[in-house]
Amino acid sequence: MMWLPYLLVAMCIYSLLAMTSTNNNKALSYDQFMEVIATKDVVAAEVSVDTTVVDISGTYVDGNQSYTFTARIPNTDVQVNELMDILEEEVGNGQLKVINPHATNYLVTIISNVLPLVLFAGFAFFMFSRMGANSNNKAFEFSKSRARLEGNIKVRFKDVAGCDEEKEEMAELIDYLRSPKKFVKMGARIPKGILMVGPPGTGKTLLAKAVAGEADVPFYSISGSDFVEMFVGVGASRVRDMFKKAQATAPCMIFIDEIDAVGRQRGAGVGGGHDEREQTLNQLLVEMDGIGENTGIVIIAATNRPDVLDPALLRPGRFDRQITVNLPDKKGRKEILEVHARNKKFAADVDLEALATRTPGYSGADLANVLNEAAIMAVRRNHTEITMDDLDEAVDRVMSGPAKKSRKYSPEEKRMVAIHEAGHAVIGLFVTDANIVQKVTIIPRGLAGGYNLMLPKEERMLSTRNELLAHITSFLGGRVAEEICLGEMSTGASNDIERATKIAREMVMSYGMSSLGPIQYEHGTGSVFLGRDYSSSKNYSSQVAFEIDNEVRKIIDQCYNQAKETINAHRDVLDNIVRELVEHETLTKEDLDYILEHGVLEKKTASVVAEPVVEEVKAEEVAVSEEVKVEESKVSE
């Protein structure tokens, strides 16, 4: 309907012109004509004498207004002679013309009358046809592929760090895309599809782009959700169109992100059944390994939920190879930091290796976010370079959120939080197999009133039973310290208890680390897939469930007693840490070691430690609501 305003404007202009011409043009009778001749100033006139009538047209002036007129009188000799005499007398000066009616150009007359109508009809037809063409194009484009073709990709393997083994797996794909004939001559069949699995932010999409960039081939990228629409059959049509376009530019690569949106298990029932999605998946299976051959097309898909994918999608001939892109280790984290540090200015004291040591479990996206937050913090503090303090604050912000400057502690509450955090620190200092305490703070961040940064002695892929028990003991240290020092409990240990209970239950039900033996009572702890897991029943009896609860309680009680013994045995260290925390609010590993040796923190050391953070939270006697107390007292490891 975009043409409707133009049509209305044209009609208005036409109407105004018609009204104007109607007001200035008058058709006169014979008597009126004779009156005009007698009383008005006729400036021009044309007389056309036909067989039976005489047509007269001309212009006369009435005051300051000019009018055109037409008149028709019977053709008699008397009237024509009288009329000519009057007109010659009144008009004169050569403005009186007598024309031959039979010499009139009827073609010009017809064109002048019909041409405006033809132009108007042509304009209307053009607008209607254009509107119809647009609607038809949109209808056809609805079933077209939404895969975006990206050419001239500048990402290379040097821009992807922390996944050397994964890049080695991808290297032969690059060789195949560059020279596929070499593989065909040898009789080798390159994998048609590669499924990259891993946590979010580990660089799956970046790695796929690097493969296309190294091979210098067209790169089609699409999300799994782009296939699924409300209408059945649209997704399947888009799959066909995507492979048709890819065949025209082969060799090429298709990257499907979040393939679990379209590749979930078929016939899964509640939460899993969807005719449109299943038809789309069926078409994808046929295109990958079905009737048609799609040579020269390599498909790379990414997901962090491989457990919900349809088995037909994972069989050889479709996604032949599955590559796990895990979280980077210390060496990988350092390489990732170096990649993202290329365009940033760092001070001379910045140690990226130390930063990599402090960030276990961080993905590539998390590390990029840490450096970005550090750069923003440096700008906010008017630094010319990014310092180690900026990086330290950035890690804290990414881990627990920004410091809550508006939250105020009362002296009693501040001491309670300090006792809680000191309890965690004492367990980390004296319990074998516990993580090493790197930093203790009572500055509230996010939902936590304070936190302990505790890192393992070395990064390991497996955890022993003693290490898991030490983790549970560390989580319970805050609650035990409150009971010993204050004789009461607070809500600050809610998150600690939740995490300790989760580890204890996994030890019993998944790892077989209890007296129930090496029996697994539950299948993983990942997200539930409703269509498959909602209706699944427990594979153990109520008696076994009772025994499981007893074993979990036994583990928790064992760790709780160990925490109580440790804190009672080192009560003086706990009191010293509490005193310094209340005064300085943040202690590092070096500060804790000094307190452990001398019992008190040196003043010069304290000032260095407290300088960046002491201004952020000031202890004032301000009462806070019970809800804020609950949230502020939660502790993150």
Q: Report the C-alpha gap between 556 and 550 in whole angstroms.
A: 10
Backbone angles phi, psi at 179, to 5 degrees: -140, 80
Q: 180 preceded by cis ω (within 30°)?
A: no
The catalytic residue among 258, 276, 421, 585 is 421
522 included as an active-site residue:
no
Q: Report the C-alpha gap between 221 and 149 in whole angstroms.
A: 7
Identify residue 353 by its one-letter amino acid code.
Answer: E
Nearest one of 291, 336, 334, 281 to 311, comparing CA atoms: 281
Any idea what DSSP says for residue 535?
A: T
Q: Report the C-alpha gap between 116 and 580 in whole angstroms.
A: 94
Residue 16: both structure tokens together: 């105004």
Q: Report the C-alpha gap between 26 and 56 in whole angstroms.
A: 12
Residue 45: both structure tokens together: 């006139």
Q: Report the C-alpha gap between 402 and 380 in whole angstroms.
A: 14
Q: Report the C-alpha gap between 263 and 309 in whole angstroms.
A: 5
Q: How would you classify the pairing of strands 148-150 and 219-223?
A: antiparallel
CA angle 488/490/493 to nearest 5° reads 120
Q: Report the C-alpha gap between 522 and 536 in whole angstroms.
A: 11
520 C-beta neighbours (distance < 10 Å), count: 11
Any idea what DSSP says for residue 289?
A: S
Identify residue 441 by its one-letter amino acid code.
Answer: T
Q: Report the C-alpha gap between 457 and 213 in whole angstroms.
A: 39
Which residues, at least 6 apart from 107, have a Cβ–Cβ distance to it below 8 Å?
Answer: none
Q: Report the C-alpha gap between 596 and 576 in whole angstroms.
A: 8
Which residues, at least 6 apart from 487, have a Cβ–Cβ distance to it below 8 Å?
Answer: none
Q: Could you tell me how far CA 88 lies from the centroid of its own chain?
A: 88
Backbone angles phi, psi at 315, to 5 degrees: -75, 160
Nearest one of 208, 306, 226 to 262, comparing CA atoms: 226
Residue 470: both structure tokens together: 């030490």
With beta carbons less than 8 A apart as the criterion, state whether 80 and 50 touch: no
Residues facing residue 140 across a β-bridge: none
Q: Report the C-alpha gap between 82 and 386 in whole angstroms.
A: 108
Burial class (CB in 10 A: 0-12, 13-18, 19+), 382: exposed
Residue 238: both structure tokens together: 């888009």
Which residues, at least 6 apart from 166, have a Cβ–Cβ distance to it below 8 Å?
Answer: 196, 207, 323, 325
Sheet containing 96-99: which strands, arranged edge to edge? 25-28, 65-74, 53-62, 41-49, 96-99
Q: Report the C-alpha gap between 351 and 391 in whole angstroms.
A: 10
Residues with catalytic function = 421
